[in-house]
Every structure is written in C-alpha cells, then in structure tokens.
Amino acid sequence: MKCMWCESEKAREITNSVFWELPDGTRAIEITETPSVRCESCGMEYQEENIINEIEDQLMLIDTKKLSKAIQYKELMKIPRFLKHNYFRF
C-alpha cells in the first residue's frame, strides 16, 4: 500500500480511534476501530477519502443526539438513516 503523504510503499491498513465533530457543531465523539492507514516511513496515520465520506454522510443522515461519547465504526454505520443518501454531496 502506498502512503498518500510520503508515497512510501510501507503504509498498511490498521484500525484506529478518531475524534469527529458532529455536523451541528455541538460536540465531538470518538469513533473506535475506524479503518485507517499507518505509514511506517513517515509515521502518518490517516483515513482514506472514502472512509471520511462514509463517516460524514452517516453523521449527516442519523439522529446524532442519541450517540454516546464513543462508538465503534461498524456500529455507527449500522444506525438507520433518515434518508438513504446524502443529497448534498455532488
């Protein structure tokens, strides 16, 4: 896997805890076991664009008031949505 920051071939897939601000700006939550990438060369840890979009879309389309301070990524993605699709993403 190639690192998007330093372009080293020493990047690998991991799971990681990330902290995300809710769309309404009221608070942030911890999302545990989030698919991530870690580069052994530069030390960067990040989420790929598709994972970022999935999280942002999910948080836009669910009732975030019911979320606790921490949730597993897979559990977050299982929460039923108000709409099937984020119609604001073009």
Q: What is the pLDDT of residue 90?
A: 56
Q: What is the pLDDT of residue 86?
A: 67
Angstrom distance (rounded) from CA 81 to CA 86:
10
Q: What is the pLDDT of residue 88?
A: 66
Q: What is the pLDDT of residue 83?
A: 74
Q: Measured between alpha carbons, how far is residue 7 from residues 2, 40, 46, 83, 87 in Å?
A: 5, 11, 13, 37, 33
Q: What is the pLDDT of residue 79?
A: 96
Mean pLDDT split into 10-residue runs, the chain, 90 residues: 96 98 95 98 97 95 94 97 70
Angstrom distance (rounded) from CA 55 to CA 47:
10
Q: What is the pLDDT of residue 49?
A: 96
